[in-house]
């Protein structure tokens, strides 16, 4: 039974570098939680540290979630939206910033325990580099491994999931692709460190997202978490799921089932100019549509198509699913 | 009423630079014509000069087509598969090669008249350049304009349609994108010169293919011909239509109807490892599926969606079309 | 004699969607103008409407520029950074917004006259669309043509230069590529409407920027203005010129000379984490370095290389220029 | 002291899917070996199994190499150019083809021993898939791991180096990126299995090639071999080194030195329309030029730039290297 969640901030205001004040208005947190709970199928939320949840408001937030029957699915420490992270968090050349990045992770884990949240999703977006001759690749990768290992050892009851992305806000991220990031997770040697696939990040990385899911799964069940959104493959447009791709999502959901993925399907979008709740609702509804295609004998049929490998037959199968004939 | 055609050579052998002898075997021409005619919905073929049709065999080919009830939809002069074109056809630095490229075009037009074929599709694939400081952009564009104008003036009863493609076999093609090529067509000042969209070429160019169709249509009905295939946007994979994209084809077919496109829907693929007839049949069936989505009140509904511009609503419309709910 | 300018705002704070408060601090305008003037070789600035120059402060700004010996090279009306433009300026579905977009253009032209600035650079970044079935391509292109034509007719002494960009902040811009935008400029039928090349936008569009410059020049001298920056071709990273590309800039500057481009070389960057003045200075110094490669007999040598088209020879030429042997 | 080699076939004829008979003529093998030896700096060649070296001609080839003072640097088993590999070699669904792929690898290792060649470069280009629902990702990756492990165990004195490439001739390769392929190498658990970087393949993969070299080096010295060529990042154009990129090669060679890479610098190109020897010579000369930039105090200077991470300073350093001022 698939469990759907949303990143709470997706219901808030959105901005970009040209319109920094934002395209919309920011609703109150209670309203955002209410909106999340009202999306059919959604039973969990992800929270961003500092933005959504802090030591000060954790009890209040927990109460609001409980009131609306929502689980806290993951906490994402804020390693990206403050000036201090501008030149990196875990990979900052300044050791005091690196210490703060770890501290922020520890705080998030502490909050997670309070909220009975099982997972910290690490997306240190400012970690990476922009220019040639700017990054000591070896050192900086090791710093991330050490920081993650420290946090994961301190909180063995929490899973730490590393979210990769090829670029933005840096021109090159430290955790850029599925397999690179799996290497980082494996280097920690800890069972509670794994990887998050964000479908849009995977598209931008030029990956076949289904294949990435299988690779992560195949090496010790390291696919811990899934973020869903869509884009045109050149940039992380964070669009409504299914607005661009279809086949890729069918293949992905097939393999998530096939490999026994048991995590959440979490919506992660940036509805700049759209109604946030509507965008998330449509995304969940689209994924439920894909799931409906996989009912009945479909899983068996796909296995047979894969075993045979005849593209004419798989095209025919797909066409009949889409057009009903 | 949509008319479907196929490029005859798609039913033959396919090769690439690593397997130059080809992935399959080459069937006899009569067999290929028989196979084309047997694809449900297909009533036309495109022929490549020298490969498929020559002065010597034109009557025989015409007879075979007539026997199977097929129209000759277009002739594509061979400006790409002979050693003499290796450094360009219309843009060759050697003037005698340029003269031959024009001559080949004239021959194709002559053959077209014999076959009552209304259109010459020009894809001078070797025209362009590979390296910096290799092309005199001004001169070479003018050479193509002059050659096309000469042919089009000589055969005012034939339409000459310029097919663009960003790269391959050159790293940069002279006719690279829709609007660049429209400029070339317009510079000839002739009503019988227009542009061919190959959907795969347009994907590789980073275009929204529906928008390109509208731009070409909007400037004097210059969209003369359509080639259909699919790919992953980074290369001209020439795959079965619908194996990668869906939304783009729906939007494209909507706008082809909306702008009154009256040409053929022609399949242009490279089924390297697939059964050629099966690949073409699936492509036509996919497009017929898309057409079925546009029946009834769908055109009106899409117009209303466009007028409103609300992505949540258009996502919902699309989802219901795909999943039936 | 090449004239260099900078966009004034490049010396200010920078933000992105993750760090909306910005990576740096905002200096006072007088300080930014002082910094611009202090960059060796820079004798002009571009100003953004509302940000940098308004009816209220135009005299003050003019005074500051004069004091520092700077020309106002262009004014860029603000069609992108206010909430009202969020769903488009010239292509907004709301006619009152479209009227405001024209009004903003007229104001900029008025300010330009006051500052003896010869050019309005139009970059309506919010014009375009994000999703399928969201844009009436025909209508919206026509709206932009009509608006530009109105402004250009009203201010025949000012040049209006249309800056294209494939995407961002929309997933698809209305003025996306060089040739598309040239078509828009030509449709106005006005001699004072042309096109701006931003090198980074051209890279993202998959263009060979030198070829785009030639195409724009070749159709009636329509290349009006140049913005310089660098990126990795997948996104508008707005980096220091020369930090990624070299060959492309040499070929571009060759053709700008060859086609008699007489406009400014204007730096347009986003030094998120860099010292703004330093980033602009390096960019100008890099371009001056490229210009030094073109001195002496270099122009003749390149013409000969192009005429011959031998990539081995042009590689050797290039190598000797770079490594001095 | 850097050692340069070339792939022998680069001196022969070249074809593509449009011009399958080739752009040039095929010289005799002895002539190609003579040409390779005549390129200044080149002291080794790579040979392709069946094309260049077989059980039958191995002594003759060995004699020719010895005569010209050339080492055999690597043998590349032919897993791509025969019809039997059309649907995969190590990943073919037909087990008899998979057995043949292993057999071909064993033969190559045997030939390598005879030629005192230390390395087998595995590029099973046909391994992968084209369409959705065509590949059993888990099974096929395991097949490749098992086959490589068998060969590497049988020939512990030979290094087996896995060359990755994102696509072509399949739309998706099994060994697609650096880190994916490192995982395969590590899974064999054998010290004589590593990874080959082809710079062009890495560019197409969207990697920073220097970073990939560091990652491979950092996990147990797994960077075994280097292929050099250039392209426009969208496709494996196999161009002359330095015809497109510069900064990337400087950063790469810096890190190859820094991480103690001791393998060959091997040229792997496809000079479709160029003189093969000239293209290879220019590539070697370009790399020697880059090496000259790294002489003197340059390594120390770059280390300091990296430690500081200031893009303005590294741009200035680079500019002075290029323009001499």
**pLDDT tens for each residue of C199-223:** 999 999 999 999 999 999 999 999 9
Does the beta-carbon distance from D286 to C247 stay under 8 Å? no
Give C130's contacts in chain A (Cβ within 8 Å). 237, 239, 272-273
Determine the distance in angstroms separating the CA of D38 from the nearest CA of chain C, rounded to an integer.
Answer: 16
CB D108 within 8 A of CB D120: yes
Closest by Cα among D40, D53, D63, D34 to D112: D53
- Locate the chain B residue with the closest alpha carbon to D84: B23
Residue B84 and residue B110 in contact, taking contact as beta carbons nearer than 8 Å: no
Q: Are B201 and B165 in contact (CB under 8 A)?
A: yes
Distance CA A188, CA C230 (A): 37
The closest of B270, B27, B276, B22 to D82, measured between CA atoms, is: B22
Q: A233 CB near a chain B CB, below 8 Å?
A: yes
Which subunits have 3 or more CB–CB pairs within 8 Å of chain D? Answer: A, B, C
Give dist(CA C153, CA B145) in Å, integer. Answer: 32
Taking CB atoms and an 8 Å cutoff, what residues of chain B touch D20? 15, 20, 22, 81
Q: Which of A83, A171, A243 minimises the CB distance to C232?
A: A171
Report CB contact under 8 Å: B87, D273: yes
Distance from the A22 Cα atom to the nearest Cα atom in chain C, whole angstroms: 7
Contact partners of C by the rule of 3+ C-beta pairs under 8 A?
A, B, D
> Which one of D87, D172, D182 has the shortest CB-CB distance to A208?
D172
Nearest CA in chain A to D253: A133
Residues 101-130 (C) with a CB less than 8 A from some CB of A: 125-126, 130
Percent of chain D whose predicted confidence (pLDDT) is above 90: 98
| Interface membership of A247 toward B (CB under 8 Å) | yes
Of D242, D275, D315, the CB nearest to C242: D315
- Count of B-C CB contacts under 8 Å: 118
- D140 to chain C, minimum CA–CA distance in Å? 31
**Rounded distance between C-alpha atoms, residue B241 and residue A270, angstroms:** 30
- Give the tokens for residue B32: 């290929």
pLDDT at A16 (0 to 100):
96
Contact C306 B133 (CB under 8 A): yes
Grade residue B1 by pLDDT with cuts at 50, 70 and 90. confident
* For residue D247, pLDDT beyond 90: yes
Q: How far is C318 from chain B (nearest CA, A)?
A: 10
Residues 7-66 of C with CB under 8 A from A: 14-23
Question: Chain C: nearest CA to A38, how far in angstroms?
Answer: 25
- What are the pLDDT digits (tens) for D130-161? 999 999 999 999 999 999 999 999 999 999 99
Confidence band of B325 (pLDDT split at 50, 70, 90): confident
Percent of chain D with pLDDT over 70: 100
Report pLDDT digits (tens) over C239-272: 999 999 999 999 999 999 999 999 999 999 999 9
From chain A, pick out residues whose CB is under 8 angstroms from the CB of C81.
18-20
Residue D325 has pLDDT above 90, yes or no: no
**CB atoms D311 and A93 under 8 Å:** no
Domains and CATH numbers, chain D: 4-293 (3.20.20.150), 295-325 (no CATH)
Interatomic CA distance for residues A97 and A93, integer angstroms:
8
- Give dist(CA C31, CA C37) in Å, integer: 10
Q: Which of D92, D95, D137, D182 to mutate to test the interface with A (most CBs of A within 10 A)?
A: D137
CA distance D319 to chain C (A): 6
Smallest Cβ–Cβ distance between C215 and the set B166, B180, B254 belongs to B180
Which residue is closest to D181 within chain A, CA to CA? A179
Nearest to D45 by CA among D276, D209, D239: D276
CA distance A9 to chain B (A): 18
To which H or E segment does residue A288 belong? helix A276-293
Interface contact C132-B306, CB threshold 8 A: no
**Dihedral sign computed on CA atoms, order D153, D159, D160, D162:** positive
Inter-chain touch B169–D243, beta carbons under 8 Å: no
Q: Do A86 and C232 touch (CB under 8 A)?
A: no
Q: Mean pLDDT, to the nearest integer, of B93-121?
A: 98
Question: Which DSSP string corresponds to A84-144?
Answer: GGTT-STT-SSHHHHHHHHHHHHHHHHHHHHTT--EEEE--TT-EESSTT---HHHHHHHH
Among chain C residues, CA nearest to A166: C234
Counts of helices then strands in chain D (DSSP H, E): 11, 10
In this complex, the residue of A136, A314, A318 whose CB is nearest that of residue D306 is: A136
Question: Which residues in chain A are contacts of D302 at CB distance < 8 A?
Answer: 133
Inspect the interface and report whether the beta carbons of C306 and B135 lie closer than 8 Å.
yes
Residue B285 forms contact with C (CB below 8 Å): no
Give the C-alpha separation, A236 to A241, whole Å: 12
Chain C residue numbers with beta carbons less than 8 Å from the beta carbon of A15 are 17, 20
Query: How near does any CA of chain C get to the CA of B61, in Å?
Result: 40
Interface list for D 63-92 with B (CB within 8 A): 80-83, 85-87
Tell me: the pLDDT tens digits for C220-238? 999 999 999 999 999 999 9
Q: Cβ contacts (< 8 Å) between D205 and chain A: which residues?
A: 206
Pairwise CA distance, residues B317 & B323, whole Å: 10
Q: Tell me chain A's radius of gyration from C-alpha atoms.
A: 19
pLDDT score, position C1: 81
Measured between CA atoms, the residue of chain C closest to residue A240 is C131
Distance from CA of A273 to the nearest CA of C (A): 7
Question: In which element (H, E) is residue A198 found?
Answer: strand A193-198
Nearest to A214 among D138, D172, D254 (CB): D138
Res D246 pLDDT > 80: yes
Of residues C48, C170, C16, C82, the one with CA closest to residue A17: C16
Residue C325 scores a pLDDT above 90: no
For residue C108, name the pLDDT band (cuts at 50, 70, 90): very high
CA–CA distances in Å: residue B147 to residues A297, B43, B53, B152: 58, 31, 22, 9
Whether residues C130 and A272 touch (CB distance < 8 A) is answered with: yes
- The answer on pLDDT for C166 being more than 80 is yes
Residues 163-222 of D with CB under 8 A from B: 167-169, 171
**pLDDT at site B258:** 98
CA distance C52 to chain B (A): 33
* Cα A122 to Cα C224: distance, rounded to the nearest angstrom: 47
Q: How confident is the model at residue D1 (pLDDT cuts 50, 70, 90)?
A: confident
- pLDDT below 50 — which residues of chain A? none
Contacts of C176 (CB under 8 A, 6+ apart): C128, C164, C165, C166, C167, C205
* Residues from chain A contacting residue D314 (CB–CB below 8 Å): 131-134
Where are the alpha helices (H) located in chain B, listed in sequence order?
29-37, 58-67, 95-114, 137-154, 178-188, 199-204, 209-218, 247-258, 276-293, 298-308, 311-323
Is residue C180's pLDDT more than 80? yes
The model's pLDDT over B22-76, given as tens digits with 9 standing for 90+, comes to 999 999 999 999 999 999 999 999 999 998 999 999 999 999 999 999 999 999 9
- Measure C167 CA to nearest chain A CA, in Å: 9
């Amino acid at each position: 039974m698939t469990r759907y969640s949303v990143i709470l901030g997706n219901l808030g205001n959105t901005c970009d570098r040209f319109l920094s004040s934002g395209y919309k208005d920011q609703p109150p947190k209670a309203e955002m939680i209410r909106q999340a709970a009202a999306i059919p199928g959604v039973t969990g939320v992800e929270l961003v540290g500092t933005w959504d949840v802090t030591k000060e408001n954790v009890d209040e937030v927990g109460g609001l979630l409980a009131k609306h029957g929502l689980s806290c699915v993951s906490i994402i420490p804020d390693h990206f939206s403050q000036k201090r992270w501008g030149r990196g968090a875990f990979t900052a050349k300044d050791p005091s910033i690196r210490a703060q990045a770890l501290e922020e992770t520890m705080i998030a884990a502490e909050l997670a325990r309070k909220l009975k949240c099982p997972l910290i999703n690490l997306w240190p977006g400012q970690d990476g580099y922009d220019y040639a001759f700017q990054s000591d690749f070896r050192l900086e990768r090791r710093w991330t491994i050490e920081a993650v290992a420290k946090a994961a050892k301190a909180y063995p009851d929490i899973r730490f999931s590393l979210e990769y992305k090829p670029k933005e806000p840096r021109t090159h991220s430290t955790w850029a692709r599925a397999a690179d990031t799996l290497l980082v997770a494996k280097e920690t040697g800890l069972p509670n460190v794994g990887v998050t696939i964000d479908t849009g990040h995977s598209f931008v990385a030029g990956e076949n997202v289904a294949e990435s899911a299988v690779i992560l799964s195949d090496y010790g069940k390291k696919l811990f978490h899934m973020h869903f959104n869509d884009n045109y493959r050149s940039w992380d447009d964070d669009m409504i799921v299914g607005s661009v791709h279809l086949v890729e999502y069918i293949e992905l959901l097939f393999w998530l089932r096939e490999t026994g993925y048991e995590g959440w399907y979490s919506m992660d979008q940036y509805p700049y100019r759209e109604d946030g709740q509507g965008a998330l609702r449509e995304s969940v509804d689209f994924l439920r549509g894909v799931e409906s295609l996989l009912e009945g004998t479909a899983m068996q049929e796909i296995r047979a198509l894969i075993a045979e490998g005849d593209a004419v037959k798989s095209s025919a199968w797909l066409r009949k699913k889409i057009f009903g004939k």
